[in-house]
């Protein structure tokens, strides 16, 4: 019989344990501890959203990263069980300016600090996050370490410099499900009033899990899909055995070029000319790589809720979270149409095949958090399947 484990001790809101953030370039920032006590290394990135800290920290796409939140105060609404994107936190660390000790929300079940402790996420508060973000924007994303257990900066710097770069890391294999499962829930919050469609016969969709968010699964179901989720190393034979009407390639962390099995599967799916395929974020990049394109690492990535993306005659304000992008010039123009561009830096925001029911988008139409402008892409996927019934 297993010995019951004691719940982790939650620090007092007035706790003043010192913490330190060390970057690979030798920069040292000092603050106070929050969350779990310990030390952790990862890629230091920043998210510019004004809300959604809970969704960000549980999004598998943040695996291996220390997330800097630019909004100056976190934890105002606490944490609840409905807004989780996975069963546990995937971000390794949390960097913030100020932590609200007493949240105010009718949905609150625990404070952010309590949740961080129980999730084992090491945090640092009291950091000048504006200065840190300027530093990352000028020098690019860097590996770093947070310590709240007394580990000295010199030791941390040595660990950070020995840590692998995000380039070449196949993190999708680490966060993917190990076993297939079905998903049939359309929304976690009862007050979600977005479109829901209930066809007499739901569309059979196989979703490949490279780090899939629950909100994506919920939006697929809300648009009339019955979803079976397969691991990141699924084969074409396993996919086709489920007789799908469409295949979805999910978001996920790490370097898309390192997800060799996913790229091979996408290439095989492209040999099924009548099968609709839809990719989001990492799934979109994997589609591009399977088509012969190249990906590259962005200087500091796109992470936030207000990124404008445009197609001829329209603009969508989008939620984004990615550190890599597709090289537009590398995509075969005779086969691929670039349908949307990021209007901040003109990187590829969406693509579609000219003669097959296949498309991918770099941003996140499920929002969670973020605007709902792009939700129509789920309806677009369903329409492709409906045309082929």
The residues, ordered by sequence, that sit 6+ positions from 191 with a Cβ below 8 Å of its Cβ are none
Report how far residue 217's alpha carbon sits from residue 154's, in angstroms, rounded to the nearest whole number.
Answer: 44
Residue 8 pLDDT > 60, yes or no?
no
Q: What pLDDT, in 10s, does the model give residues 357-367?
A: 999 999 999 99
What percent of the chain stands above pLDDT 70? Answer: 95
- Measured CA to CA, the distance from residue 373 to residue 98 in angstroms comes to 31
Residue 195: the pLDDT is: 72
The phi, psi pair for 46, rounded to 5°, reads: -135, 145
320 is in an annotated binding site: no
- pLDDT value of residue 198: 80
Instruction: Quote the strand ranges of 153-294, DSSP E.
Output: 181-183, 203-208, 225-230, 246-249, 277-280
285 annotated to bind ligand: yes
Average pLDDT rounded to a whole number, residues 138-164: 96
Mean pLDDT throughout 155-168?
A: 96
Report pLDDT for 196. Answer: 78
With left for phi above 0 and alpha for psi between -120 and 50, is residue 335 left, alpha or beta?
A: alpha
Per-residue confidence (pLDDT) for residue 194, from 0 to 100: 75
Please indicate if the annotation marks 324 as binding a ligand. Answer: yes
pLDDT at residue 251 is higher than 60? yes
Q: List alpha helices for 140-259, DSSP H.
A: 153-162, 172-175, 214-222, 236-240
Q: What is the mean pLDDT of residues 144-155?
A: 97
Q: How far is CA 273 from CA 11, 117, 268, 357, in A?
A: 57, 49, 10, 8
Asked whether the predicted pLDDT for residue 255 surpasses 50, the reply is yes
Please determine, for residue 282, whether its predicted confidence score (pLDDT) is greater than 70: yes
Q: Give the strand order in the sheet containing 348-353.
A: 181-183, 225-230, 203-208, 246-249, 277-280, 358-361, 348-353, 336-342, 295-311, 314-326
Q: If you average pLDDT over every residue of the chain, what do you get?
A: 94
d(CA 6, CA 169): 35
Q: With contact defined as beta carbons under 8 Å apart, do 45 and 65 qualify? A: yes
d(CA 367, CA 17): 36
List active site positions: 281, 364, 366
Q: For residue 206, what are its two tokens?
A: 């196989």
Mean pLDDT of 148-173: 96
User: If you average pLDDT over residues 317-327, what whole number do you get?
Assistant: 97
pLDDT value at 339 more than 90: yes
Mean pLDDT computed over 251-267: 98
- pTM beyond 0.75: yes
Tell me the CB-side half-sphere exposure of residue 26, using CA atoms within 13 A: 0
Is residue 35 annotated as involved in ligand binding? no
* Cα distance between residue 118 and residue 121, in whole Å: 8
Token pair, residue 10, equals: 């939650």
pLDDT, residue 200, reads 87
Q: CA 157 to CA 147: how far, in whole Å?
A: 11
Question: Is the pLDDT at 3 greater than 60, yes or no?
Answer: no
Question: CA nearest 318: which of 333, 307, 332, 329?
Answer: 307
56 — pLDDT class (breaks 50, 70, 90): very high
Q: Which residues pair with 30 in a beta bridge?
A: 20
pLDDT for residue 14 is more than 90: no
Please say if the pLDDT value at position 23 is more than 90: yes
Query: pLDDT tens across 193-206, in order?
Result: 777 788 889 999 99
- Say whether 61 counts as a known binding-site residue: yes
Query: Is 238 flagged in the annotation as binding?
Result: no
Q: Are 57 and 45 in contact (CB under 8 A)?
A: no
pLDDT at 233 over 70: yes
pLDDT digits (tens, 9 = 90+) for 63-104: 999 999 999 999 999 999 999 999 999 999 999 999 998 999
């Amino acid at each position: 019989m297993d010995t019951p484990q004691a719940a982790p001790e939650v620090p007092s809101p007035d706790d003043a344990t010192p913490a330190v953030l060390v970057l690979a370039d030798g920069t040292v920032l000092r603050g106070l501890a929050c969350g779990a006590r310990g030390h952790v290394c990862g890629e230091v990135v920043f998210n510019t959203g004004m809300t959604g800290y809970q969704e960000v920290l549980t999004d598998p796409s943040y695996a291996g990263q220390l997330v800097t939140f630019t909004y100056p105060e976190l934890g105002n609404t606490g944490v609840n069980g409905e807004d989780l994107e996975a069963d546990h936190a995937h971000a390794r660390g949390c960097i913030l300016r100020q932590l609200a000790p007493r949240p105010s929300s009718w949905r609150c079940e625990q404070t952010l600090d309590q949740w961080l402790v129980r999730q084992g996420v090491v945090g640092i508060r009291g950091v000048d996050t504006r200065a840190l973000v300027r530093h990352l924007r000028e020098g690019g994303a860097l590996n770093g370490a947070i310590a709240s257990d007394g580990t000295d900066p010199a030791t941390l710097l040595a660990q950070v410099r020995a840590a692998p770069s995000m380039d070449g890391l196949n993190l999708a294999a680490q966060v993917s499900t190990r076993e297939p499962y079905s998903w049939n829930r359309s929304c976690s919050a009862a007050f979600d009033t977005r479109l829901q469609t209930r066809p007499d016969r739901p569309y059979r969709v196989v979703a490949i899990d490279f780090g899939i968010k629950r909100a994506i699964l919920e939006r697929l179901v809300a648009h009339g899909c019955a979803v079976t989720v397969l691991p990141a190393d699924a084969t074409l034979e396993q996919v086709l055995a489920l007789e799908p009407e469409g295949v979805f390639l999910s978001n996920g962390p790490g370097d898309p070029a390192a997800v060799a099995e996913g790229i091979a599967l996408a290439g095989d799916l492209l040999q099924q000319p009548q099968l609709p395929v839809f990719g989001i974020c990492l799934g979109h990049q994997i589609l591009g790589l399977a088509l012969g394109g190249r990906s590259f690492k962005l200087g500091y990535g796109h992470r936030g809720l207000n990124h404008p993306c445009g197609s001829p005659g329209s603009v969508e304000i989008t939620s984004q979270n990615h550190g890599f992008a597709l090289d537009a010039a590398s995509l075969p123009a005779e086969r691929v149409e670039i349908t949307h561009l990021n209007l901040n830096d003109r990187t590829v925001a969406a693509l579609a095949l000219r003669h097959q029911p296949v498309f991918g988008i770099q941003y996140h139409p499920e929002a969670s958090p973020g605007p709902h402008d792009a939700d129509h892409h789920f309806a677009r996927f369903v329409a492709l399947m409906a045309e082929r019934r």
